[in-house]
């Protein structure tokens, strides 16, 4: 991923789950930023990825993304990923 700066909008984020998740009935990402947790709805993309579009302005800091899935009779969290948002002039 290229360097991302504060103020960026409409950022498409794709997380490769490294396995087929096309049967997932729950596909979302739990996000932690500055101690606050939120849930972003995601869609299954190309059968093995989660994709979502973040339309608000990103603020400086580190975002922790924890995919949450339900596939058949399994439900749980997948490996987390992170990305950093740099100051606008940094």
Pairing of strands 81-86, 4-5: parallel
Q: Is the pLDDT of residue 1 over 80?
A: no
CATH code (residue 56): 2.60.40.1220
**Boundaries of domain holding 37:** 4-86
Q: State the burial class of residue 40 (Cβ atoms within 10 Å of its Cβ: 0-12, 13-18, 19+).
A: middle
Number of structural domains in the chain: 1
Pairing of strands 61-71, 49-54: unpaired
Which pLDDT tens digit goes with each residue over 6-17?
999 999 999 999
Q: State the burial class of residue 54 (Cβ atoms within 10 Å of its Cβ: 0-12, 13-18, 19+).
A: middle
pTM of the model: 0.87
């Amino acid at each position: 991923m290229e360097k991302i700066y504060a103020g960026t909008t409409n950022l498409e984020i794709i997380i490769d789950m490294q396995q087929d998740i096309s049967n997932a009935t729950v596909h979302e990402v739990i996000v932690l930023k500055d101690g606050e947790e939120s849930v972003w709805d995601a869609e299954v993309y190309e059968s093995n990825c989660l994709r979502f579009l973040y339309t608000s302005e990103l603020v400086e800091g580190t975002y922790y993304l924890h995919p949450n899935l339900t596939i058949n009779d399994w439900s749980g969290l997948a490996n987390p990923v992170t990305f950093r948002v740099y100051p606008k002039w940094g």
